[in-house]
Amino acid sequence: MDRVALRGLKARGHHGVFPREREEGQTFIVDLVLGLDTRPAAAADDLTKTVHYGIVAEEVVDVVQGEPVDLIETLAERIAQKCLKHEGVEEVEVVVHKPDAPITVPFDDVTITITRSRV
């Protein structure tokens, strides 16, 4: 399976379990790896035979900016399901970064990584 990767998609969302997270919001960063067969697109040099990663990026940002959820696990699942709706995408790995998580000790990042497939 071939891979198309999008790294560092940024959007402001209001996800989290604490009132401050819901009220003020924070930046979330999303990395995606889409698994698909790119041979038909390459052979025909035809965008319609592959995934349009620009559209995927916009949809992912819409999910992050959309309806708040408590957990980044839920956010990652919603993103994965949105990606799998694209014809040809057989598998997706989603990493959601929450670099401003409300943690009281020094840290660099909090992430969740999930892999989902059509099977």
> Checking DSSP bridges between strand 2-13 and strand 91-97, what pairing results, if any?
unpaired
Cα separation, 80 vs 94, whole angstroms: 6
Contact indicator for 98, 28 with CB cutoff of 8 Å: yes
Active site residue 98: yes
* Per annotation, catalytic residue among 10, 49, 85, 98: 98
Instruction: Give catalytic residue positions.
Output: 98
